[in-house]
Amino acid sequence: MFEKKHDSLASVPKFIGRVGFCLLIAAGILAVALFLGVLGYRYFGQLEWIDALLNAAMILTGMGPVSPMLTVSGKLFATFYALFSGLLFMVSFAVVISPIIHRILHKFHLDDEDVRDDEDTATDPAQQK
């Protein structure tokens, strides 16, 4: 997906496309997690569909639960879903930020190679002829 170590820096439109693609991947991951949360709150928490959606969305975004869990299975699900959601937030952030970090590091690497090439040319007597 990304350019290799010795490739030139990707064009701006290609870079924007990569960021957009990573945003779509993160949105897909979050949509699946929201769907699983809705099903879990519906089944284990015995909530209505709209309440299950609200609780899953609130936990997934880090806001906290809305409806209290009355069953042990609902409380256990809410506990594990909250832990899962926290981890999923970090994973989604990493997916979105990865093309940006890669571009920055690749740019630094290219600059470093340019400086190294200039130094090699200046000190190599065969190159000076």
Q: What pLDDT does residue 74 have?
A: 93
pTM, whole model, 2 decimals?
0.74
Give the Cα-Cα-Cα angle 12, 15, 17 (nearest 5 degrees): 110
> Which CA distances in Å does 11 have to 14, 19, 51?
5, 12, 46
Q: What pLDDT does residue 93 have?
A: 93
Q: What's the distance, Cα to Cα, between the start and end of the chain in Å?
A: 41
Domains identified in the chain and CATH numbers: 12-104 (1.10.287)
pLDDT tens string 83-107: 999 999 999 999 999 888 888 887 7
User: Cβ distance 58 to 65 under 8 Å?
Assistant: yes
Between CA 53 and CA 42 the distance in angstroms is 9
Q: Which of 82, 84, 80, 78 is nearest to 42 (CA)?
A: 78
Q: What pLDDT does residue 53 have?
A: 96
Helix runs in the chain, H state only:
12-43, 49-60, 72-123, 125-128
Q: What pLDDT does residue 3 have?
A: 64
Place of tokens 């990865």: 98
Q: What pLDDT does residue 126 have?
A: 57
Question: Which residues of the chain, if any, have pLDDT below 70?
Answer: 2-10, 109-129
Q: What pLDDT does residue 128 have?
A: 53
Q: What pLDDT does residue 14 have?
A: 83
